[in-house]
Structure 1
Amino acid sequence: MPRRGDSLETRWTRWPHTKAKHDLLVRYLGAWFPIMGRSVRKAIVLDAFAGPGRYDHGEEGSPILVLNALLEHKDFANWSNCEFVLLFNELDPERFESLEGVLGELRTANDPWPPNVRLLDPQNQSFEELGRQMLDSLKGNNMAPTFAFIDPFGYKGLPLDLVAELVSFPMCELFIYFDFNSINRFATANVVDKHFDRLFGTDEYRNAPPAGDPARQQFLHDLYERQLKQAANFAHVRSFAMVNDTGHIGNYMFFCTRNRRAFDLMKGAMWKIDPSGEYRFEDSLAGQDVLFEDENATGPLRDYLLEHYAGKTVPIQQLVDHVIDETPFHSSQVRRQTLAPMQREGLISATGQQRKCTYPEGVSVVFPD
């Protein structure tokens, strides 16, 4: 019997927000794979809830997208010194059977298979079984740099302590689904507390404002974000909201890393999906040209910098790092899109420049009082 925990068919319709999530995944891995390929001997991608591999109209699921992002990358031939290990897991037997077939077809289509890509046999386990097995196999050693994509249906069987332990090693990153719709509905209902206790790693969700209170959504979001930071020691966490066809947030995708550069890359990918900088995707707007949204429109960043650094002289790298860490913006929006226009307009000046309105290492930006 199926063990899927949802009412969908073996292959189901791909919703617009699912495509947006996969676009984020592919954009980020398109930057992550080259970094790994050039700098480490081994890198792992875990897709813990891989699904059937394709949707009901043949659209590619995450396993194919991940593999193609690697195999079809223009620089792949230069990464022969890095072993890429890919592990796909699906609990439901029917979806697992579909996944096996899809991966087999992809392997055949890429014959001869690259020797530095180790596509492990897909697994048919719960996340908890798989995670514990992976940790036990380490036998006290560190895990290789890992990108863990944890994208289930719902909130069950996703204990924070196991997630945190699995990605507790240096250079491990997490892209995880947070079932906000269900959590918002049940957080103070005392119905599924045993699952929420494990999901959050705390019972603080019971203190959420009552249903209907505008503060409830932010409370639950911020609690999970804080738990991801504290339990797994992630320095950087960024969420992206997926708004369903009813106009409500169905889920958030949380990206977690200890590396500022990785955080910056994912923020850049998120801006490509939502150029408004609100970090959200709406099903109702899928396929439409959204007006008045421009990634180059960094007026709010300009205003923030003028206020935050008023009267200060700030080294450029310190400024860029602060923007990455503490604002919604990413590094590519700082120099040319924000600082250069500000300097041309006389709002700021700079020391150490060899050419006006350029900001290489060694330049400091001077903000007026």
Structure 2
Amino acid sequence: MARTGERETVWELKPHTAAKHQLLTGYLKAWFPILSRWNARIVFLDGFAGPGIYKGEEYGSPIKALDVLLKHTHRDAMANKEFVFLFNEAEQDRYEQLEIVVRDYVAKNQPWPSNVKVSVGSDSFENVAEGILGFLEQQKSNLAPTFAFVDPFGVKGLPMDLLRRLLSFDRCELFVYFDFNTVNRFANAGNIDDRLTELFGTDLFKQARGLTGAERKAFLHDLYQSQLVEVCGFSYVKSFEMVNSSGHTGYFLFYGTRNIKGLEVMKDVMWTVDPGSGEKFSDILAGQDVLFQAEVDTRPLQQDMAQHFRGQLVSVETLAHYVLVDTPYALKHLKKLTLKPMQKEGVITSPNQKRTGTFPEGTLIKFAD
């Protein structure tokens, strides 16, 4: 494999990267058909696409994204919709490798579907985003529903303000790499403050001074998350933590959307990757036979809801929204694993339930005082 100095053009696929791809492809499997029902054009943007392949011939995110669509069980139903894949890689050697990988993939999948457009470019993510924005301004048009996968090395070239401008349209979503290891190391060093200010869209990261351990991690994590909400205007932001082989947090993946259905789908995928908590993957446990509980432990959720809704009469739809937005649990954990045992224990009752233990749409639930 080619090298530039000591930097590899193609490198080994790490377990946490495979988990990241699992999150990405799991989400796209649902996102493509959902969005194509209502939109004539769908865009997938991979802003830091890499070489497209790893040592051992494992495909990278660009080909995995294409694979999801071309092998989708509902592909025929989406044949009249246009799918645009934009792959960008700034490093010249990796871009050249990516071109070869994409070209070979297209050749292997002939006849290539006419509704699937693929573009491979080599520029900075900032220039690519500015180019898209300039084109939209000239056309006086809005960006088609776009899933932006932004997965850089480090903290350079990812200004919060650029994300705001590029993803300001309602149907645009973000899946972004947040290099916690670098941010944590340099938040108070003073030598890359300009980069970190661009990354966060504020210099409030400096308030991490004096914080240590879990408190410092939570502060930096929550600051970036709040900026995605307040600056970029995402209604819902959910993160997933990646722990390296030394047991330390390497980075977080942040998902941003304005659609609660998107949040529901992403949380389902996160719980598939992490059946224990839906929030974390560790390289330490990769490849090991980890024994998870047969069913998710929803006792913390039961206690939380019993306290939060104490004495109230609420709909099951209200509870579903609460679980999705305000807890780490997924919607699939609500009825059978949470409400059913709560009713059995007398914590909740229902004035309009037709059958005990079932909670169809419109069910009202009364929480004990």
8 Å contact from structure 2 (residues 239, 254) kept in 1? yes
Aligned residue for 2:254, secondary structure, equals strand
Question: Cα deviation per residue 1:105-141 (whole Å; 9 max; x = unaligned)?
Answer: 1111111111221122x01000011010011111231
What is the alpha-carbon distance in structure 2 between the residues aligned to residue 67 and residue 214 of structure 1? 38
Match of 1:36 in 2: 35
Q: Match of 1:20, as an amino acid?
A: A
Match of 1:59 in 2: 58
> Which of 120, 125, 137 is 1:127 aligned to?
125
8 Å contact from structure 1 (residues 3, 93) kept in 2? no
8 Å contact from structure 2 (residues 276, 296) kept in 1? no
Q: Match of 2:50, as an amino acid?
A: G
Q: Match of 2:60, as an amino acid?
A: G
Give the 5 Å matches for 1:1-369. Answer: 8-120=7-119, 122-139=120-137, 140-210=140-210, 212-277=212-277, 279-294=279-294, 296-369=296-369
Aligned residue for 2:185, secondary structure, equals helix
8 Å contact from structure 1 (residues 44, 147) kept in 2? yes
Q: Match of 1:327, as an amino acid?
A: T
Question: Cα deviation per residue 1:26-64 (whole Å; 9 max; x = unaligned)?
Answer: 111111111012221111000000000100111110011
Q: Shift of the alpha carbon at 1:347?
A: 2.8
Q: Match of 2:77, as an amino acid?
A: N
Q: Shift of the alpha carbon at 1:294?
A: 5.0
Q: Shift of the alpha carbon at 1:355?
A: 2.5
8 Å contact from structure 1 (residues 93, 124) kept in 2? yes
8 Å contact from structure 1 (residues 17, 244) kept in 2? yes
What is the alpha-carbon distance in structure 2 between the residues aligned to residue 212 and residue 204 of structure 1? 16
What is the alpha-carbon distance in structure 1 between the residues aligned to residue 16 and residue 290 of structure 2? 16
Identity between Structure 1 and Structure 2 (%):
46
What is the alpha-carbon distance in structure 2 between the residues aligned to residue 191 and residue 365 of structure 1? 55
8 Å contact from structure 1 (residues 37, 81) kept in 2? no
Question: Cα deviation per residue 1:155-208 (whole Å; 9 max; x = unaligned)?
Answer: 011111001111110110000000110110000010111111111111111111
What is the alpha-carbon distance in structure 2 between the residues aligned to residue 137 and residue 149 of structure 1? 20
List alignment gaps of at least 5 residues for structure 1.
Answer: none
Higher mean C-alpha displacement, 41-50 vs 356-365: 356-365
What is the alpha-carbon distance in structure 2 between the residues aligned to residue 277 and residue 62 of structure 1? 25
- Count of matched residue pairs: 366
8 Å contact from structure 2 (residues 267, 278) kept in 1? no
Q: Shift of the alpha carbon at 1:213?
A: 4.9
What is the alpha-carbon distance in structure 2 between the residues aligned to residue 212 and residue 345 of structure 1? 41
What is the alpha-carbon distance in structure 2 between the residues aligned to residue 358 and residue 214 of structure 1? 40
8 Å contact from structure 2 (residues 196, 203) kept in 1? yes
Per the normalisation by structure 2, the TM-score is 0.95
What is the alpha-carbon distance in structure 2 between the residues aligned to residue 13 and residue 316 of structure 1? 47
8 Å contact from structure 2 (residues 275, 292) kept in 1? no
8 Å contact from structure 1 (residues 150, 177) kept in 2? yes
For residues 295 and 41 of structure 1, do their structure 2 counterparts lie closer, same or farther at Cα, with a shift above 3 Å needed? farther
Aligned residue for 1:351, secondary structure, equals coil
Aligned residue for 1:86, secondary structure, equals strand
For residues 363 and 211 of structure 1, do their structure 2 counterparts lie closer, same or farther at Cα, with a shift above 3 Å needed? closer
Q: Shift of the alpha carbon at 1:214?
A: 4.1
For residues 361 and 213 of structure 1, do their structure 2 counterparts lie closer, same or farther at Cα, with a shift above 3 Å needed? closer
What is the alpha-carbon distance in structure 1 between the residues aligned to residue 83 and residue 158 of structure 2? 26
Q: Shift of the alpha carbon at 1:237?
A: 0.6
List alignment gaps of at least 5 residues for structure 2.
Answer: none
What is the alpha-carbon distance in structure 2 between the residues aligned to residue 342 and residue 213 of structure 1? 36
Q: Match of 1:219, as an amino acid?
A: F
Q: Shift of the alpha carbon at 1:211?
A: 6.3
Aligned residue for 2:173, secondary structure, equals strand
